[in-house]
Amino acid sequence: MDYLKIQGIDTLNGTIKISGAKNASLPLIAMTILAQNRVNIHNLPQVADIRTLLKLLSNLGAKCEFHDEHVDVDTSTINETKATYEIVKTMRASILVLGPLLSRFGHCEVSLPGGCAIGQRPIDLHLKALEQMGAEITIQAGYVQAAAPNGLKGCNIIFDKITVTGTANIVMAAALAHGTTTITNAAREPEVVQLCEVLNASGVTIEGIGTAMLTIHGTSGKLLEITPFSIIPDRIEAGTYLCAAAITNSELTLNDVEPKHLGAVLSKLEEMGCSCYVSENSITIHPAKELKPVTIITQEYPGFPTDMQAQFLALATQAHGTSIIEERLFENRFMHVSELQRMGAKIVLNGHTATVNGESKLSGTDVMATDLRASSALVLAALVAQGETNIHRIYHLDRGYDSLEKKLEGVGAKIERLKE
């Protein structure tokens, strides 16, 4: 098992290229199930979750070919509609194959999902919506068994709460359905927007893209001709490196980034005293003269992303004053706090709220990653800790960050990947 050894440093300097977004890649890979042609996908990040989903498609009979700069996915050879526990248990986003498999084949079995232990992320909203579309759903022996022998039928769906994965799943299900589906209270995340844009360009008319109400005109079972596309930049990876610059009092430039996807993150960094200079596809961050405390409440897009909460919590340990961070989306997403406390961070938890007393003198020690974004928070803390920090269980980190240690090393970090 790998771990990271990080030596605390003074500053970083240089340029980092941002990879494609993992959270956009996963639904778009699942979407290839709806295609009649071989689909060419560019800018896929080299992360474990992508490999897992492509392996799942391969197990279903699809052909996945890797090239230098793109992946070809041919789902015309799928001959199995059961997504087994052995694959799905490692990644909760595997549930994304449920909608497209059911819509295309009229039946499927998908194991109940696994993944990060950051809290309950039930799929009941997915299943309720599919039942509204005419599917028969049962759960037996840990598997969702779904059948719609006459195809799914368009209907009006109102999500009780915003669900990113649920929106993506139902949009894909509706793509081949009979008639028109309307989704109210749909997620507006950029990753959902790109899924809708690619489907819209492939013959599925979708209205309201980027809003909370989507209208999808199904093709009545006609498979799609999907032209080559490139994955949008990863806004969470970009936000993480912006925090790396802020916490080390450094100037960094990020290239191949989409600044408009980072509005809430950039706003909070500037509130903390940093200066961010934005061009069409790059951001340069200049350090704060004095890092100020901040108040953060995680919300659905375009609010402050829950996937950046842990990184800003680490950043707040170095601010001059007390920061308040409230997590409203996942109940267990403060598991990194105990590890940061071991490094000397002054953090008090009260339910879903963390009070962070800044100007903490962090010390390097052995810490353990508990989930994907918690891993990156520990990396940020290690960059400014005195001495050496060893971060264990970084397989969590590998699920969502493409070459993190190489990118940080390229801008001056003293970081190594080693074997236990």
What positions carry a catalytic annotation? 116
391 beta partners:
4, 367
Q: Are 16 and 255 in contact (CB under 8 A)?
A: yes
Beta pairing partners, 207 = 215
Residues 6+ apart with CB under 8 A from 153: 133, 134, 177, 178, 179
Bond prior to 302 in cis (omega within 30° of 0): yes
Evaluate whether 297 touches 304 at the Cβ level (below 8 Å). Answer: yes
* Token couple for 377: 């928070």
CA–CA gap between residue 407 and residue 403 (Å, rounded) = 6
Tokens of 297: 């409440």
What would you measure as the largest C-alpha separation in the chain, in angstroms?
64
What distance in Å separates the CA atoms of residue 233 and residue 243, rounded to the nearest whole number?
Answer: 17
CB-based contact 72:39 (threshold 8 Å): yes
Cβ contact 70:64 at 8 Å:
no
Question: Of 54, 111, 51, which is closest to residue 81 (Cα–Cα)?
Answer: 111
Beta-carbon contacts of 7 under 8 Å, excluding residues fewer than 6 positions away, are 364, 387, 388, 414, 415
